[in-house]
Amino acid sequence: MRMTISITFFFCFPPPDLVGLDDDKLKAWDKVNPDKRVCSLCEGQEDSHEHLFFECSFSKQIWQQVKCYAGLSGSDFSIDNIIQDIIPFAMKRSSKSICAKLVVAAASFFIWQERNNRLFRSEKRSVDNVVACIFNTVRLKLVSFTWKKSRAVLDIMKLWKIESIRLQD
């Protein structure tokens, strides 16, 4: 199940740096630790997709901070549990579904980007900075949509501190 979820993420939200992962970058990666590639986020466990999205302490701190913005406050901190909670309403075109999917997509993307920035550019951001990127990205997307006026949309505006959005006539 976990592998299916991570594969789905990579098909839906292909990490841009993956495309540029040429031989030089892979060799540089190997030089960092030829025997065991240590996760660049927590610097404590072996690097893998499984670890990055489901087990990493850095990623878990991010999920912990953003899950309430996805309307998933009750979810466990791990992404597989978050996704299990999204599945029942993921195919609906409700404001809750849109919000949850945007947050999960943005969080996955920025966790992946942060990993790559640390590995290949020696750039490091804090959990709070990554969360701010996720928040700003999703907020901008929400503002760009045209919504049907409803109680749920008003709740989203309040949660995301959005003062004005486009509403259908």
111 binds Zn ion (CB under 5 A): no
Of residues 40-79, those binding Zn ion (CB under 5 A): 41-42, 45, 56
Cβ nearer to Zn ion, comparing 3 with 87? 3
C-beta of 48: minimal distance to Zn ion in Å?
Answer: 9
Cβ nearer to Zn ion, comparing 42 with 157? 42
98 binds Zn ion (CB under 5 A): no
C-beta of 122: minimal distance to Zn ion in Å?
Answer: 17
Residues with Cβ within 8 Å of 77's Cβ and at least 6 positions away in sequence, in order, are 60, 63, 64, 67
39 binds Zn ion (CB under 5 A): yes
Residues with Cβ within 8 Å of 32's Cβ and at least 6 positions away in sequence, in order, are 38, 119
86 binds Zn ion (CB under 5 A): no
- What residue ranges bind Zn ion (CB under 5 A)? 39, 41-42, 45, 56
